[in-house]
Chain A
Amino acid sequence: MSTIGTSVPRKEAPNKVTGRARYTNDINIPGTLSAVVVPAHRAHGKILSIDTSEAKKVPGVKAIVIGDDLSVLTGDVTQDRPPLAKDKVRYWGEPVALVIARDESIARRAAALVNVRIKPLPVVNSIPDSLADNAPLVHEKNGDYTVATPPVSPKKKSNLADQANVKKGDVEKGLKASDVKVQVHVSLPQIDHAAMEPRVAKAEILADGRVLIHASTQAPFEVQKLVAQYFNLKPGQVIVTAPLIGGAFGGKAAIQLELLAYIASKAVGGQMVKIANTREEDLTMSPLGLGLEADITLGATKDGRIQAANMKFYLDIGAYTDSAPRIARAIAAQCTGPYHVANVHTDVFCVYTNHTYTTAFRGFGHMPMTFAVERAVDELAQALKMDPLEFRRKNAIDIDNMTPTKARLTRSNLGDLPACLNEMERLIGWQGGEVQAVGPHRVRAQGVAAFWKTSSSPPNAVSGAIITMNSDGSVNLSTGAVEFGPGTKTTAAMILAEKLRIPLDRVYVHEDVNTSVNPEHWKTVASLSTYMVGRAVLDAANDLLQQLLNLAAIVLRCSPDDLDYGNEHVFVRDDPHISIKFSDLALGYKYQEGDSIGGQLMGRGRFMIRHLNLLDQETGHGKPGPAWTVGVQAVEVEYDQETHQYRVLKAATVLDAGRVINPQVATGQVMGGMNMGIGVASREGVHYDPNGTFLNPQFRSYKVMRMGEQPQQYLVEFVQTPQMDSPYGARPLGEHAVLAIGAALANALSRAANTPLNTLPITPEMIWQQRRERR
């Protein structure tokens, strides 16, 4: 009996189909107050005055807090963001004041009465605006802010919040040695995570000084640390709980509402206060995914070997840095895509604008980066008149190559990209990149793109697991990873069931995370939970097994070395009839006489990623993550040459999963990722008007995919090359299916429309526009 490799439903599935699954906003204590922000209706301006007098008169208003009441500056890396705008507003929708009232209706009515006078300043409304000579400064103090977690290198008196670079080989020499060169400029708008559950947080300050925070967060332990740090509390005083989360995609790794909830509770003497984003607030006020402009130069010899990559990435990070410097380094570290390129020079710039600030988005910068690189790779293949899939196979990164940051690649830490390319060729019925006419004005085309990604986690990220036994011999599993959809808890339970050789239903998972109860898990991000939590679970399982065997050895009067286990029994290996049930050991063993030994058995496990380091600020060299997941994605489109409308017929992914723990869940992750990636590439993007006003803050204007718009066919296959240090060889795969599918779509449509499509989203109007400009 093996659990690993079987398609089991998520542990919480029955609750999710009965309305019994509870999310943060479903758990309410009567008497909870409500906090609502007053948003800035200017993208850039000096705050002249904030008049709260009318708002305070509204019956039921308890307190109003403004930026001047606070002194803290926050930020994951650079501390540049006041929780409430102070002196200046830097994006449309930025919170300027916080109204706390008896209920949300009252708070919203009062918020509308807060009179904020803002003197408009010139708006930095794009990356070129931001980089222009004498551009207005989004942050006058850029370069002077406290840096919480280096590295970051801001440039004073400019809008450059950070720059990172990677140098390998000699890019000039490499380009000289190239017979064919392509230059590609890509431009991608900011996008929204659009998790179906809007962000929400609640806070209360108990009389004994403890601070309780309940939030829809991917990072409860980070919330604990940062709330303590920002507000001069002891970490143990701050208790953060996160129940089930209604989608996250990186957007709930940022910390914003938690701080406002704490500030609100503090303003009303510690009463429980809730702040729940409307959809409009979730889009405009809370952080987005970054926008990108990039200039990519690639050179290759005429036999199709890439010689050099010279790249500049400009990230529209919006008004505050948040995790942008980390993302910039992740982009730099993987800048070549999954190809062996000997000569690389890449600069990544984090550019402040008067747009909503940004944070991690599924793929941690690898999605926009991959789009840029894969468009250039496809253009290069086309310039060389080579089959784009063949070209990728020729240049695919493989073991014994070095990454751009000179990390060493092994069969364990790198998936098998050539094998993925071979499988894709078969899976989608690859036509060599040729466009086929299928009717008057209608053509079909295929596009392919490849990805790789590592975790870019801090070198000291930790994870833990605690297993306790129940009287019937079943186990409870406690970890610090939150559940927002990918089945993190179920996977951890499967790993435990496999190790203890028990059925999955004998493992009970602790669904919520509570920082004072569960062992720490860095953040539930970077698709790392299977690896990190899994390793901690195995460590804990070993600890528990040792306790089981030791206690059984006493009872069975033998050495623990003589014992084995299975079927919820510990038994003597050479005479299995001599055995004892787990349940007789779980809470200690009771002798016939009634005296007992042992006590409750509980396993403790922990894990820390080894051998990572921060990238060298000069050269960018270093090891950014434990392993690189690789994969190939392809689409087949049908395109109407007259209307420029198109339909995705097939979307395919082949990914080296190392080992597939739960095939149905893994396939679902990959299909969902493709759907999101196609949505981003085909319709998503924030619109700002010339004043920096956010124009599409609702689902009727920020369009995401709906039923019927998905590809006619999804194709998913896994290559399985084990990652040796990961549980059962599994590689991370949660984020990855978004990474290259948009590039594959653009590659297919660029061929079909016979014009390079380097701007997202690719709407019929965009294609029409590109073709017009080209004529």
Chain B
Amino acid sequence: MIVHPFDYYRPDTLKAALAIHEELAREGRHPIYYGGGTEILTRSRLNEGRFDAVIDLKNIPETRQHGTDRGQYRFGAGVRLTELASEDLWPFLTATADRIADHTTRGQITLGGNLLSTLPYREAILPFLLTDSSTADVAGKHGVQSRALRDIYDQKLNLKPGEFLVSVTVDGQEAKGMAFRSYKMTRQDWIDYPLVTIAVARREDGSIRAAFSGWANYPFTSSHVNHILSETSRSARDRAARAVSSMPHQALTDIHGSREYREFVTQYTLTNILKELEASQ
């Protein structure tokens, strides 16, 4: 049952998608781009969100790209999370995305849908946040532009009105060169939003980077925290404790857990991750 009626468009090309968006916007309508639909349909049902047309991007070949392209791993925005896992191009991404929602739902959620979700979690972004080479390929007025992910990520992926995400990429060498751990910690249940999801990369030079989801209202990494985590002269426990007290934001308190408990869980999880990564050198 859908409370608010909306129109459905399924363009076959990037151009057609942009064109229909522009046309609808010009008519004063409120079109949104549509990936797997799981979030849009839940919001529509609850009468949340203001849109009257959806533009389904899954039929556009570019959004379905999934493979290695001149040394780059490319993940189309229309690739389902289960497809990421079965291809397993970048195991770090698989490990992180494979804990989102449940298996059936992961067969519906697209990578683009997760990255651009209005919910605070968007765990699939975490591995990308830990790289230097990641790009977001965005379709807009001037065709598809490849932008450095770090340039357009500020609490969220910032796209201009009418633009949509086509794919994300990461340099294969960089991706392969890092050891990683990704742990989703929940209040109690396997299927739940994260209390905190922690993705940690140990890069070829031995430095450590960590990204967090569930701690704040958006996923983030912090160079300050990464710096602390990389001080390998200190013990893992010490670094984890210092990292937790140096986070750029206070942890949330919500029905999943209190601020103090989030800190506690983050600290022991980070400690364990650091120990594991450094033991496996």
Q: Could you list which residues of chain A lie within 8 angstroms of chain B, going by C-beta atoms?
A: 104-105, 108-109, 112, 278, 280, 642-643, 682-683, 687, 695-696, 700-701, 703, 706, 708-709, 761, 763-765, 768-769
Residue pairs across A and B with Cβ atoms less than 8 A apart, 7 shown, are A108-B3, A683-B187, A700-B192, A703-B187, A706-B189, A761-B188, A764-B188
Give the residues from 178 to 196 in chain B that come closer than 8 angstroms, CB to CB, to chain A. Answer: 187-193
Among A703, A761, A765, the residue within 8 A (CB) of B257 is: A765
Q: Does B268 lie at the interface of the complex (its beta carbon under 8 Å from any beta carbon of A)?
A: yes
Q: Are the C-beta atoms of A763 and B2 separated by less than 8 Å?
A: no
In the A-B complex, the 3 residue pairs with the closest CB atoms: A765-B261, A108-B3, A683-B188
In the complex, are the beta carbons of A105 and B3 less than 8 A apart? yes
**Minimal beta-carbon separation of B263 from chain A (angstroms):** 11
Contact yes or no, B255 A701, CB < 8 A: yes
**B268 touching A642 by the CB < 8 A rule?**
yes
- Assuming the A-B contacts A104-B1, A695-B255, A765-B258, are A643 and B268 also in contact, with contact meaning beta carbons closer than 8 angstroms in the complex? yes
B5 within 8 A of A: yes
* B224-242 with Cβ < 8 A to chain A: none
User: Which residues of chain A have C-beta atoms less than 8 A from B257's C-beta?
Assistant: 765
Q: Is the CB of A109 within 8 A of B188?
A: no
Chain A contacts for B4, CB-based, 8 A: 109
User: Is B264 in the interface zone, CB < 8 Å from A?
Assistant: yes
Contact B255 A687 (CB under 8 A): yes
Shortest CB-to-CB span from A401 to chain B, Å, is 40
B118 within 8 A of A: no
Question: Is A768 a contact of B261 with CB atoms below 8 Å?
Answer: yes
Closest A residue to B255 by beta carbon equals: A687
Q: How far is the CB of B32 from chain A (nearest CB, A)?
A: 19
Chain B residues near A105 (CB, 8 Å)? 1-3, 5
Interface of B (DSSP majority class): loop
Task: Determine if B3 and A109 form an interchain contact, defined as CB atoms under 8 angstroms apart.
Answer: yes
Please encode chain B, from 169 to 212, with 1 for each CB lying within 8 Å of some chain A CB and 0 for all others.
00000000000000000011111110000000000000000000
Cross-chain contact of B189 among A687, A696, A703 (Cβ < 8 A): A703
Determine how close the nearest CB of chain A comes to the CB of B102; give it in whole angstroms.
8
Q: Which residues of B contact A112 (CB under 8 A)?
A: 3, 47
* Other-chain contact of B190, A278, A695, A706, A765 (Cβ < 8 Å): A706
Point out which of B2, B46, B264, B268 has the most chain A C-beta atoms below 10 A from its C-beta: B264
In-complex Cβ contact of A763 among B45, B187, B191, B268 (8 A): B187
Q: How far is the CB of B279 from chain A (nearest CB, A)?
A: 15
A761's nearest neighbour on chain B, judged by CB, is: B188
CA distance A278 to B45 in the complex (A): 10
Say yes or no: B261 contacts A706, CB within 8 Å.
Answer: no
Least Cβ–Cβ distance between B175 and chain A, in angstroms: 30
Enumerate B46-64 residues with CB–CB distance to A below 8 Å. 46-47
A274→B255 CA distance, assembly (Å) = 34
> Which residues does chain B contribute within 8 Å of A701, judged by CB atoms?
255
Out of B3, B193, B265, which one reaches A700, CB within 8 Å? Answer: B193
Residues of A within 8 A of B190 (CB): 706, 708-709
Chain A's closest residue to B261 (CB) is A765
Report A-chain residues with C-beta under 8 Å of the C-beta of B188. 682-683, 703, 761, 763-764
Q: How far is the CA of A683 from the CA of B46 in the complex (A)?
A: 25
Instruction: A112 to B257: give the CA distance in the assembly, Å.
Output: 32
Contact between B268 and A709, CB atoms less than 8 A apart:
no
B261: chain A residues at CB < 8 Å are 765, 768-769
* A333 nearest CB across to chain B (Å): 34
Interface residues of B in 141-195 (CB under 8 A from A): 187-193
Number of residues in B with C-beta < 8 Å to the partner? 22
A643 to B192, CA, bound (A): 18
Per the bound structure, the CA–CA distance linking A708 and B191 in Å amounts to: 10
CB 8 Å contact bits of B108-151 with A (1 = contact, 0 = none): 00000000000000000000000000000000000000000000
Q: Which residues from A are CB-within-8-Å of B255?
A: 687, 695-696, 701
B193 proximity list for chain A (CB < 8 A): 700
Q: List A contacts of B5 (CB < 8 A).
A: 105
Smallest beta-carbon distance A458→chain B, Å: 39
B189 near A709: Cβ-Cβ < 8 Å: yes
Question: Which chain A residues border B189 with CB–CB below 8 Å?
Answer: 683, 703, 706, 709
- Nearest residue (CB) in B for A109 is B3
A706 to B104, CA, bound (A): 14
The answer on a CB contact under 8 Å between A706 and B1 is no
A683 proximity list for chain B (CB < 8 A): 187-189
Closest to B102 in A: A706
- A687 to B192 alpha-carbon distance, docked (Å): 16
Q: Which of B72-120 contact A (CB under 8 A)?
A: none
Residue of B nearest to A772 (CB): B260
Q: Tell me, in angstroms, the Cα distance from A104 to B47 when the chains sit together.
A: 13
**What residues on B are CB-neighbors of A278 within 8 Å?**
45
Q: Distance in Å from the Cβ of A334 to the closest Cβ of chain B?
A: 30
Complex: how many Å from CA A682 to CA B187? Answer: 10
Q: For residue B38, give the distance in angstroms from its CB to the closest CB of chain A.
A: 11
Q: For chain B residues 8-60, which have a beta carbon within 8 Å of chain A?
A: 45-47
**Is B47 touching A768 in the complex (CB atoms < 8 A)?**
no
Least distance between B253 CB and chain A CB atoms (Å): 11
Q: Is B268 in contact with A706, judged by CB distance below 8 angstroms? A: no
Give Cα A706 to B5, complex, Å.
34
Q: B264 to nearest A CB, angstroms?
A: 6
Q: Which residues of B contact A764 (CB under 8 A)?
A: 187-188
| Contact in complex: B2, A765 (CB < 8 Å) | no
What B residues does A280 contact at CB under 8 A? Answer: 46
List of B residues within 8 angstroms of A765 by Cβ: 187, 257-258, 261
| C-alpha spacing A108/B2, complex, angstroms | 9
Task: Please measure, in the bound complex, the distance between the C-alpha atom of A280 and the C-alpha atom of B265, giving whole angstroms.
Answer: 30
- In Å, the complex CA distance between A708 and B187 comes to 16
- Measured between C-beta atoms, what is the minimum distance from B100 to chain A in Å? 12
Q: Which residues of B contact A763 (CB under 8 A)?
A: 187-188
Chain A residue with Cβ nearest B271: A642
Most buried by B among A701, A703, A706, A708: A703
- Please report which residues of chain B, range 258-281, place their CB below 8 angstroms from some CB of chain A when the two chains form the complex: 258, 261, 264-265, 268
Question: What's the Cα separation between A109 and B4 when bound, in Å?
Answer: 7
CA distance A440 to B46 in the complex (A): 48
Task: Give the residues in chain A near B264, CB-CB below 8 Å.
Answer: 768
A106 to chain B, nearest CB (A): 9
Chain B residue, CB-CB nearest to A765: B261
Minimum C-beta distance from A613 to chain B (A): 44
User: How many angstroms between the C-alpha atoms of A701 and B257 in the bound complex?
Assistant: 12
Q: How far is the CB of B168 from chain A (nearest CB, A)?
A: 26
Expressed in whole angstroms, the minimum distance between the Cβ of A691 and any Cβ of chain B is: 15
Query: Which residues from chain A contact B3 at a C-beta distance below 8 Å?
Result: 105, 108-109, 112
CA distance A761 to B257 in the complex (A): 13
CB distance from A131 to the nearest CB of B (A): 25
Q: Bound complex: CA of A109 vs CA of B1, how far in Å?
A: 12
A308 to B16 CA separation, bound complex (whole angstroms): 80
CA distance A683 to B257 in the complex (A): 12
What's the nearest-Cβ distance from chain A to residue B67, in Å? 32
Contact, CB under 8 Å: B47 / A108: yes
CA distance A474 to B257 in the complex (A): 60
The CA of A728 and the CA of B192, in the complex, are separated in Å by 46
A642: nearest chain-B partner, CB-CB: B268
Residue of A nearest to B2 (CB): A105
Q: A682-B188, A708-B190, A709-B189 are in contact. List 6 more A-B contacts (CB 8 A).
A: A104-B1, A642-B268, A683-B188, A703-B189, A703-B192, A706-B189
Q: Across the interface, which residues of B come within 8 angstroms of A687, CB to CB?
A: 255
B191 to chain A: closest residue by CB: A706
Chain B contacts for A695, CB-based, 8 A: 255
Residue of A nearest to B262 (CB): A765
A residues in contact with B47, CB < 8 Å: 108-109, 112
Q: How many angstroms from the CA of A108 to the CA of B5 in the assembled complex?
A: 12
Q: Which residue of B lies closest to A34 (CB)?
A: B1
* Bound CA span A701–B4, Å: 24
- Measured CA separation A703–B261 after assembly (Å): 19
Q: Which residues of B contact A108 (CB under 8 A)?
A: 1, 3, 47
Give, as a whole number of angstroms, the nearest-CB distance from B190 to chain A: 6
Distance A695 CA – B190 CA, assembled complex (angstroms): 20
The residue in chain A whose Cβ has the minimal distance to the Cβ of B46 is: A280
Give chain A residues whose Cβ lies under 8 Å from the Cβ of B258. 765
